[in-house]
Amino acid sequence: MKIAYYPGCSLHSTGVEYDISTRKVCDAMGIELAEVKDWICCGSTPAHRCDDLMSLALPAKNLALAVQTDNLKEVCAPCASCYSRLKFTQERMTNENLKRNVEQIIGSEYPEDVKVLHMLDVIVEKIGTDAVKEKVVKSLNGIKVACYYGCLMTRPPKVTGRQRFENPTDMESVMEALGAEAIDWNMKTFCCGASFALTQTDVVLELTRKILADADSAGAQVISVGCPLCHANLDDRQKQINENFNTNFKIPIFYFTELMGLALGIEAKDLGIFRHLTEVKDFLKERALA
Amino acid sequence: MRIVGPKNIKPDSAFVEEIARRSGENVFLCYQCRKCASGCPSRMFMDSTPTELMRYVQLGMADEAMKGNTVWFCLSCQTCSVRCPQDIDIAHVVDTIRIIVQEKKIKADTKNERLFNWLWMRMLKYMGRMYEVGLTGMLNLFTGRPFKDLPLGIKMIKKGKLRLLPSIRRPFATMKMFSRANRLKK
């Protein structure tokens, strides 16, 4: 199976371990990822906050580039923000006027029949959790995982097409297949503050504290995420939160692809896990996962 | 909630028409149920709640809608849009207000978000891809707190999570896209 792969800017910098683990896991599951040639930034949140037309033209350009990559009709975007922007563009391009303008800007035809998938969709829809279960060589042994989706993986349903947008369960089914225990908690789709990390850090710290506190009180040992921005806020800023609010959170934050990789028998260092800022080495050693 | 008397309301019907036209949302359908305000993760930071903002829009109270910090604290998390019983895409209405504030260069409590957006789009235009170190550095410099997040940044560089040099891809392609868009907007 071959899918066009749109990593996005975060996966080449702050979320580099998501890129590494995604490639490893896809390799192990027999999916060939063809990186979109010369992809550009999707514009993310700042684009739709200041320039409506460009916020649609940038993802449209990437969709056109994706189709040019080996003529593939499916694009996988692991970053929730990229995924959301690509999906939003597809929804808005049903407006013929807008589409004409966007085609003028990107200088080529807008490709209609492309399917945009989040990495989690690739695992759940394309491979299936049963196939994942068969490949598990090192069960996660009942680690208690809080699956955190954040905003844009599921919302808004008119764009993502998801049935369960307030209480999604796809990541839970993957975690159960890996032998982990997915716990029930409240903040699955609560916002982490995402793009405010640089401008209004206080907001991010407050929102992220709430998420960590809820996961902690629900008994989570780790949090599993599918978005580089969620990861940056929960992992990189965890120490800052502890200092600011006098808390003592020590919750390792994993990309769900990293947990998959571990269960599939890939070494932790090959998945890029030791790039996390929150301590993970001891946690994995205790459980014989590293 | 602030109580506004009839004397304080200077309705501007052009404002509400512009919002409705540009966002494509029927803002008049809002009946103030407050589901958006209850779900908004950012409401405690805002001057007025999303529900109040919708009322300001309906009444054409342009100053109240545009000059406060409410739209600038919106995280675009889509919770309000998803939960609205009248199916108004409130986040899109907020986006539209933000864009108008930036286009008309209205003085507002933007919490550095306008600067952040501007820097982001400039980088994108000339580099094609995001350059986090440059973006953070410039933002901190312009906002007069050059050492903000420096220890975190150093840690991230040590872990190989930040690229010190930008990865420039197809800069002429993105520059061309921006200039074509500018021509279209005129």
Q: How far is Cα A53 from Cα A226, in angstroms, rounded to an integer?
A: 28
The domains located in chain A, with CATH, are: 2-119 (1.20.1050.140), 136-286 (3.40.50.11810)
Q: What is the pLDDT of residues A144-163, one digit of tens each?
A: 999 999 999 999 999 999 99
The tokens describing B99, both together, are 């864009």
| Three-state secondary structure call for residue B186 | coil
**Residue pair B89/B115 in contact by the 8 Å Cβ criterion:** no
Q: How far is Cα A176 from Cα A160, in angstroms, rounded to an integer?
A: 24
Which residues in chain A touch residue B40, judged by CB atoms under 8 angstroms apart? none
DSSP code, position B128: S
**Closest listed residue to residue A170, CA positions, set A232, A221, A126:** A126
Whole-structure pTM value: 0.94
Q: What is the pLDDT of residues A222-249, one digit of tens each?
A: 999 999 999 999 999 999 999 999 999 9
| Greatest Cα pair distance in chain B | 60
Share of residues in chain A with pLDDT > 70 (%): 100
**Closest listed residue to residue B39, CA positions, set B3, B4, B91, B1:** B91
Indicate whether B152 pLDDT > 70: yes
| Three-state secondary structure call for residue A181 | strand
Q: Contacts by B54-57 with C-beta closer than 8 Å and gap 24+?
A: B54/B27, B54/B30, B54/B88, B54/B90, B54/B93, B55/B30, B57/B15, B57/B16, B57/B19, B57/B27, B57/B93, B57/B97
So what's the pLDDT on residue A59?
A: 97
CATH 1.10.1060.10 maps onto chain B at 6-103
So what's the pLDDT on residue A126?
A: 93
Indicate whether A37 pLDDT > 80: yes
Mean pLDDT score of chain A? 95
Which residues in chain B touch residue A52, judged by CB atoms under 8 angstroms apart? 22, 95-96, 99
Which residue type does A189 have? T
Indicate whether B5 pLDDT > 90: no
CA nearest to A41 within chain B: B129
Which DSSP string corresponds to A66-98? Answer: HHHTTT-SEEEE-SHHHHHHHHHHHHHTTSHHH
CB contact set of A148 (below 8 Å; sequence gap of 6+): A187, A188, A211, A215, A223, A224, A225, A230, A234
Q: How far is Cα A226 from Cα A122, in angstroms, rounded to an integer?
A: 12
Which residues in chain A touch residue B167, judged by CB atoms under 8 angstroms apart? 12
Q: What is the pLDDT of residues B11-31, one digit of tens each?
A: 788 999 999 999 999 999 999
Strand (E) or helix (H) holding A45: helix A44-50
CATH superfamily of B6-103: Alpha-helical ferredoxin (1.10.1060.10)
Contact A51 B159 (CB under 8 A): no
Indicate whether A120 pLDDT > 70: yes
Which residue type does A151 have? C
**Residue pair B43/B96 in contact by the 8 Å Cβ criterion:** no
**Closest listed residue to residue B143, CA positions, set A201, A239, A192:** A201
Indicate whether B1 pLDDT > 70: no
Out of A47, A196, A277, closest to residue B155 by CB: A277
Out of B113, B173, B185, closest to residue A199 by CB: B113
Which residues in chain A touch residue B161, judged by CB atoms under 8 angstroms apart? 13-17, 236, 275
Confidence of residue B6 (pLDDT cuts 50, 70, 90): confident
Phi-psi domain of A121 (left: phi exceeds 0; alpha: psi -120 through 50; beta: other): alpha
Contact B114 A41 (CB under 8 A): no
CB contact set of B84 (below 8 Å; sequence gap of 6+): B30, B35, B36, B90
B67 or B85: which leads in pLDDT:
B85
Out of B117, B148, B161, closest to residue A275 by CB: B161
Share of residues in chain A with pLDDT > 90 (%): 96
Indicate whether A29 pLDDT > 90: yes
Which residue type does B156 have? M
Residue with tokens 């090192």: A138
Q: How far is Cα A251 from Cα A280, in angstroms, rounded to an integer?
A: 9
So what's the pLDDT on residue A209?
A: 96
So what's the pLDDT on residue B71?
A: 94
Contact A50 B118 (CB under 8 A): yes
Contact A104 B161 (CB under 8 A): no
CA A243 to the chain's CA centroid? 27
The complex's ipTM works out to: 0.92
Q: How far is Cα A156 from Cα A147, in angstroms, rounded to an integer?
A: 19
Confidence of residue B155 (pLDDT cuts 50, 70, 90): very high
Let me know the angle formed at the C-alpha of A214 by A211 and A218, rounded to the nearest 5 degrees: 140
- Calculate Rg over the CA atoms of chain A: 19
Q: What is the pLDDT of residues A164-196, one digit of tens each?
A: 999 999 999 999 999 999 999 999 999 999 889
Out of B99, B162, B177, closest to residue A57 by CB: B177
Which residues in chain A touch residue B180, judged by CB atoms under 8 angstroms apart? 104-105, 107
**Residue pair A24/A272 in contact by the 8 Å Cβ criterion:** no
Out of B79, B111, B184, closest to residue A199 by CB: B111
Indicate whether B80 pLDDT > 90: yes
Q: Is the peptide bond before A157 cis (omega within 30 degrees of 0)?
A: no
Which residue type does B51 have? T
Indicate whether A263 pLDDT > 90: yes
